[in-house]
Amino acid sequence: MKNNIDIKSLAQSTFELEAANVLALSEKIDEDYVKVIEEILTLKGRVILTGIGKSAIIAQKIVATLNSTGTPAIFMHAADAIHGDLGIIQKDDLIIGISKSGNTPEIKVLVPFLKQTGNTLVAMVGNRSSYLAEQADYILDTSITREACPNNLAPTTSTTVQLAMGDAIAVCLQTKRQFTDQDFAKYHPGGALGKQLYLKVGDLSDNHGLPAVSSSSDVRTVLISITKFRLGATVVTEKEQILGIITDGDIRRMLEKHTDVSNLIATDIMSINPKTIERDELAANALHHMRQNSISQLVVTDDGKYAGIIHLQDILKEGII
């Protein structure tokens, strides 16, 4: 049977409830939180996150975030831990147990074994009076007012808050370690994100050769150069000096302006002071310059000398956008 509850209102109330509970975390950042961050910063081992059910999924995401931002981390499923996976834990590790209630049967079975290891145990928990919280060395309070689920049952608000707490931990650690974008690139060599952080202009432009004509080249020579290299442009050079650039657009403007082009040479057509970029700059920076100047090519230089052309299509093919 259909009801008349407005779908948009339901979505909006979900966002409002979850956002309010995430914002409430600010009031729960206490000395325990600070000590956890400080201990992880000096940790010789890894951060081990464990949980059951939806909390286990959140733990896996936090592990991925920590690893990618310079904090070695590993996931240990709470149910599997007592069947052999406790061997994951090494003496210099720190353990974070994630649980909304802190009283699930799996957690109650696991915690005594975790205490026996002698490792620091942190409870990311929604109930400060729970078994997990009482046994932990530190508590990260992720309590909520209610789940977004209309029955207040399905983990919704609680997992969002857990995730936000994990993000805050990663950001604090990353910032305190002065983890730079270059450090980030080391852990993300694949995909578009990695390419933004390590792919250089020269990696793309070096494949094209050096489309160039002299200052006295005629229109036919210019057209052949542009066509041969398929970059939509050629550079006008003289004694290794860049004088200008001739693009497809310059050719079109020339044809609109002149009926007879037989006596024209490269310097009559070219645009002077072309936009340039050094070959060791990031390709992502080249994209920024192209967007900023509404152009499709940049002249590539190497220590000020002409080294090629990078085209917008080069960057598109790499999936950097």
What pLDDT does 5 receive?
Answer: 78
Q: Give percent of the chain above pLDDT 70.
A: 93
8-state DSSP, 28? G
Q: What CATH topology corresponds to 201-317?
A: CBS-domain (3.10.580)
Residue type, 62: I
Q: Is a pLDDT exceeding 60 seen at residue 270? A: yes
Q: Binning pLDDT at 50, 70 and 90, where does residue 39 land?
A: very high
231 Cβ contact list (under 8 Å, min separation 6)? 208, 211, 297, 309, 311
Q: How far apart are CA 244 and CA 87, in angstroms?
A: 66
Q: How far apart are CA 134 and CA 300, in angstroms?
A: 62
Residue 10, CA atoms < 13 Å, CB-side half-sphere: 7
Write down the mean pLDDT value for the chain.
92
Q: How far apart are CA 26 and CA 100, in angstroms?
A: 18
CATH entry, 7-179, from 3.40.50.10490, 3.40.50.10380, 3.30.479.10, 3.20.20.70: 3.40.50.10490
Lowest mean pLDDT across 138-147, 194-203, 239-248, 296-305: 194-203
Q: Where are the domains of the chain?
A: 7-179, 201-317
Structure tokens at 228: 């041969």
What pLDDT does 195 receive?
Answer: 63
Stretch 210-221: mean pLDDT: 95
Q: Is a pLDDT exceeding 80 seen at residue 259? A: yes
SS3 285: helix
Q: How far apart are CA 180 and CA 158, in angstroms?
A: 31
pLDDT in tens, 159-186: 999 999 999 999 999 999 987 766 666 6
Positive or negative torsion for Cα 246, 249, 252, 256: negative
8-state DSSP, 270? P
